[in-house]
Amino acid sequence: MKKKITSFQISILIFFLCLGLYEGIANVILYSSTKQNAWLVILLSIIFSFIPIALIISIINFEPNKNIIKKVEILLGKHLGNIINFILSVCIFMILILTCWNLFSFINIEYLNKTPQLFIGILFIGTSFYAIMKGIDVILKSGEIILYISLLLITIIILSLFGLPNFNNLKPFFSNSFNTFLFESIHLLSYTIIPTFVITIIPKNEINDNQKLTKLIVKSYIISQLFIFLVTFITITVLGPELATIYQFPTYYTVRKINVVGVIENTENFFSVLWIFSMYFIITMCLYYINTYVKEIFKIKTKKKEFFLLLLICLFTLYYSDKIFPSTINSINFMKKSYNYFIALIIFIIMVLLGIIIFQKGKKTSNNNAIQYSNNN
């Protein structure tokens, strides 16, 4: 049965998923290695992003009535499919843990520094738990509502920034080698595009107007990348590359500088809200992915069993998100050195593998159709 999901809601979800891991993780690495040229790296990454986007779209379009877990089984067979599904779920779980850790530590550092991270976690995981129990349509509907709030906040922030940017901060251009640009743009994609792989858990046929989906997905990716570009551009021109490199959450401190005749102040909280929404969607979708995977494995059908299963997953996430990194230094080091190889690269390789098989299957089908057509004639 089709749920009340629209392609527009999926594109909103992609927008939020792309932003989530940018602040506090991707931008920290980006500024430290490319400084004032970070905005150029993003422009380059937009070009490269078409490869993973094409792969995600091809996976979504294959067997439109099934989710990624079943698609993997169809494409790779039962045994290899199970292994790959397990690996994917572990990677998604790692993204979930990292996102949770990043979000909880942000709130802990900037707002509730006396509150244990675990309790901050309960706030978000609890909300995600509730949304998942209500179903994917509720998650996506909340995304649609949040988008309008976010757009209002973004407009206020951008208008308030008038007069603050110093475009000299962008100079010197191209002071990094081309290899650095190339490496960092790929690096950036691993934080902004790879997490969006989780949308493949939603079967295409569950979307009402799915004929528009491909177009909207591409548009959404481009808009989110351009938004990241805008955020980076503003951060460098307002804060300067030196301070952008020092802070863990540079955009937050950029927006903190806004003071419009003492009337519009503390707009950093607007930014926090926007960013927290993004992180919330990554957390919710990752939990949804893992929940669906475990449900498939244990063949869980009843709502009651799903409730306890999801509760268990949430508790597990809460525990690990609190314990995984002893400090921020460890988390940044992990994101710098290990995330790309242990999580992003694995997901990307699996995406490529699935993409190739889908392409070959498509070719075979079209060949068969052509033979059948010629035989008929």
Partner 1 sequence: MKKLLLLLISLTLCGCWNYKELNYLSIVSGIALEKSNDEYILGIQIINTQEKNNNFITLKTKGKTVHEALNNISLISSKKVYIGHNKLFIIDEKIAKEGIEQIIDFLMREPESHKQFQVLIAKNKTLNILENIPAKDILLLLEVASKQKGNITKVTYDELLSNIHKVGIEPVIPVIELNDTNKITLIGMSVFKGDKLLGYLNYNESLGFNLIRNNVKKDVISFKCDSNNYGSFEIVTLNTSFSIKIVNDNPFVNIDTIGSLYLSEINCDLDISKNSERKKLMGIINQQMKEIIKNTIETVKNEYNTDIFGFGYYLYQNNYQYWKNNHSNWNNLFKNIAYKINVDLNISKKGSILEPAKEG
Distance of closest approach, residue 36 Cβ to partner 1, in angstroms: 9
Print burial letters for 177-203: b (CB count within 10 Å at least 16), e (below 16): eeeebebbbbbbbbbbbbbbbbbbbbb
Kindly give the interhelix angle for 136-160 and 117-134, rounded to the nearest 10 degrees: 130
Nearer to partner 1, 45 or 245 (CB): 245
Peptide bond into 250 cis (omega under 30): no
Shortest reach from residue 245's CB to partner 1, in Å: 8
From the list 162, 163, 172, 374, which residue makes contact with partner 1 (rule: CB under 8 A)? 172
- CB atoms near residue 212 (< 10 Å): 16
Q: Which is nearer to partner 1, 168 or 374 (CB)?
A: 168
Q: Given the complex with partner 1, which of 115 and 365 has the nearer CB atom? A: 115
At 280, give phi and psi (nearest 5°). Answer: -60, -40
Reading phi first (left if > 0) and then psi (alpha if -120 to 50, else beta), residue 63 is in left
Binders of partner 1: how many residues, by CB under 8 A? 24
Question: Which residues is 5 bridged to in the sheet?
Answer: 207
Stretch touching partner 1 by CB under 8 A, among 12-20, 63-71, 167-175, 362-370: 167-175
Site for partner 1 in 126-145 (CB under 8 A): 126
Smallest distance, partner 1 to C-beta of residue 35, A: 11
Among 205, 242, 338, 360, binds partner 1 (CB under 8 A): 242
| Residue 149: CB minimum distance to partner 1, A | 20
Report in angstroms how near the CB of residue 251 gets to partner 1 at its nearest. 14
Scored b (16 or more CB within 10 A) or e, 217-253 reads: bbebbeebbebbbebbbbbbbbbbbebbbebbbbbbb
Q: Name residue 136's amino acid.
A: I
- Residue of the chain from 8, 253, 277, 280 that contacts partner 1 (CB under 8 A): 253
Tokens coding 45: 């990454």
The pattern of x and - marking residues 203 through 222 that bind partner 1 according to CB under 8 A reads --------------------
**Choice between 115 and 360, CB closer to partner 1:** 115
Identified binder of partner 1 from the candidate list 46, 54, 223, 243, rule CB under 8 A: 243
Q: How far is the CB of 126 from partner 1 (least distance, A)?
A: 7
Question: Site mask, partner 1, residues 257-296, x = CB under 8 A?
Answer: x---------------------------------------
Query: Which 3 state secondary structure label does DSSP give 264?
Result: strand
Q: Which residues contact 302 (CB under 8 A, 6 or more apart)?
A: none
Q: Interface with partner 1 includes 359 (CB under 8 A)?
A: no
Q: Do 60 and 220 meet the contact criterion of CB atoms below 8 Å apart?
A: no
Between residue 69 and residue 128, which ones bind partner 1 under the rule CB under 8 A? 109-116, 119, 122-123, 126
Nearer to partner 1, 203 or 250 (CB): 250
Neighbours of 367 (CB within 10 A): 10
H or E, element range at 369:
helix 345-376
Contacting positions for partner 1 (CB under 8 A): 109-116, 119, 122-123, 126, 168, 171-172, 175, 240, 242-243, 245-246, 253, 256-257
